[in-house]
Amino acid sequence: MGTGYWAREVHAVGLAGHPDVELVGVWGRDQSKATDVAARHGTTAYADVDALFEAVDAVAFAVPPTVQAELALRAAVAGKHLLLEKPVATDLAAADRLLAAVEEAGVSTVVFFTDRFVPEREAWLQERLRGGALGARAEWLASLRTPDTPYATSIWRQQEGALWDVGPHALSALLPALGPVAEVGGARGFDDLVSIVLTHEGGATSTVQLSLTMPPEAVRFNLEFYDDQGWHARPNAPVDVVEAQQRAVTELLGQCRAARTDHRCSVRFGRDVVDLLHRIDLALGPR
């Protein structure tokens, strides 16, 4: 589902090259783009969403979150397993409806928080879970102003800003390692920059800075936890996002085959991330 850059270059490529799945079809809001993506992979472009649902066992989404929340709910009602993008929605009520539909249908779900499917980074995070992390600091300071970015014209990113686009990446690591959040504080800065302080229920604290509008020379990505042994920085070797997507697909297949719905990045976890993003947005005040 989708025809944008991430759909074309990550999801479609990953699915078409995965040894254990068949890319049955492509749907997009722009039928001509769907036809182009389908032709590239020798598959079918569907004009009707429900017809595509009828033809498949699972659906991979790479569309804006408001579109995803509605269509994923329809797919779940149709009994289809779901590979979702983050955030699963930008409206908490929509995320709750999607979760309810998934649980009613009993389908398997995986939300593609990219780092959670990069082996070195996931192994590092699991070490932090075992090591009793006491706090963290995270910086996802990106720029849609760099000349080579494929996301410069992404309307939903321009509207929702860094909190909703790159914020889920930070929270997908902070929540497992430090636990649920009791209190939220912070402030808005230039453009869509947000600085956040989270107090977790167990007493740990984390600080997060997020932006999609940094000067290109000020781009920075960093995630560190500390414990009794000191600071531990996330491995920052280059990431092959197609390989990460294929790992997410493989894990979804494992959930389907075992009739399980308890994946570490299930739609329930995705809903909890949306809940926290919503709380942060309210705490930061008007944009």
- pLDDT > 90? residue 146: no
Mean pLDDT of all residues belonging to the chain: 97
Confidence of residue 38 (pLDDT cuts 50, 70, 90): very high
Q: Using omega within 30 degrees of 0 as the cis cutoff, is the peptide bond preceding 168 cis? A: no
User: Closest by alpha carbon to 84, among 108, 54, 55, 118?
Assistant: 108
Nearest residue to 227 via CA among 115, 119, 117, 136: 136
pTM to 2 decimals?
A: 0.97
Query: What residue type is 193 in one-letter code?
Result: L
Amino acid at 153: T
Q: State the DSSP code for 229.
A: T
Q: So where are the chain's domains?
A: 5-113+242-266, 119-234
- What is the number of other CB atoms lying within 10 angstroms of the CB of residue 201? 11
- Over residues 120-143, the pLDDT tens digits come to 999 999 999 998 999 999 999 999
At residue 85's C-alpha, the angle toward residues 161 and 253, to 5°, is: 165
Class for domain 119-234, per CATH? alpha beta
Q: Rounded to an integer, what distance in angstroms lies between the CA atom of residue 64 and that of residue 159?
A: 11
pLDDT, position 225? 98
pLDDT mean over 66-88: 98
Calculate the dihedral angle through the C-alpha atoms of 72, 74, 78, 79, rounding to the nearest 10 degrees: 30
Q: Which of 158, 167, 153 is closest to 191 using CA atoms? A: 158
pLDDT tens, residue by residue, 215-226: 999 999 999 999
User: Three-state DSSP class for 232?
Assistant: strand
Fold adopted by 5-113+242-266: Rossmann fold (3.40.50)
Q: Quick: pLDDT tens for 189-209.
A: 999 999 999 999 999 999 999
Identify the sign of the CA torsion 158, 163, 164, 165: positive
Fold agreement (5-113+242-266, 119-234): no
